[in-house]
Amino acid sequence: MKPFVVLFLLLLSISLSYAQVSLDQVKDIADELDIPGVQIVYAKPGETHSYYVGKIREGQAVQVTPETQFQAASLTKVVVAYVFFKLYDQGLINLDTPLSEYYSYDRIQDNQAAKTITARMVLTHQTGFQNWEGDVPTDEWRASPLHSLFKPGT
C-alpha cells in the first residue's frame, strides 16, 4: 500500500464529515497520489455518500464498483483489537486461552502450533504466521492451509 493512502482516506473521511466532496475531487486526489482505485462510503443518520474510483489493480481494466471487495488488513488490526478487548471486558474471552478453543478454523486444522495461538499473541504480532500467504481473496487462498514460520508467542 502506498504510504499516503491511509492518510488520504483519513483526511477524506474527515472532509466528508464537514462538506460534500465531489467524485471529481476524489478522482483528482487518487490520481495525485497514484492510487489505482478507491472505494469510500461515508454515512451518518439520513445521509450516505458513496465514491467508487479507478481500477481494482494497476494495469488492469476491471473498474472499482459498489460490489468490489478490498483487503482491509491494516484497518482490521484496529477492529480486531477493539473486539478482543470488548469481549475481554464482558468476560467472554481470556487473552491467554487458545483461540482454537473458541473457533475452529479449517486453515489450521493440521497445524498444531497454530492451535496454541491466543488473543494476546495476535495483539502483539506473535502468531508465527507470515503477513500474507497466497493470493487473497481467491478460492484457492480460502482453501489453503496456514503455515507457521516460528513458534507462536516468540
Q: pLDDT digits over 104-133, tens only?
A: 988 899 999 999 999 999 988 899 998 777
Q: What is the mean pLDDT of residues 9-16?
A: 52
Instruction: Please tell me the distance from the alpha carbon of residue 53 to that of residue 120, in angstroms, as a whole number.
Output: 38
Cα four-point dihedral sign 53, 69, 122, 82: positive
The larger pLDDT score, comparing residue 2 to residue 87, is at: 87
The pTM (predicted TM-score) of the whole model is 0.54
pLDDT of residue 7: 47
pLDDT of residue 150: 93
Confidence of residue 26 (pLDDT cuts 50, 70, 90): confident
Q: pLDDT digits over 42-100, tens only?
A: 777 888 888 888 898 888 888 999 888 877 666 777 888 888 899 999 999 999 999 99
Nearest residue to 96 (alpha-carbon basis) of 76, 117, 78, 115: 117
Nearest residue to 117 (alpha-carbon basis) of 101, 132, 130, 131: 101
Q: Is the pLDDT at 3 greater than 70, yes or no? A: no
pLDDT of residue 112: 93
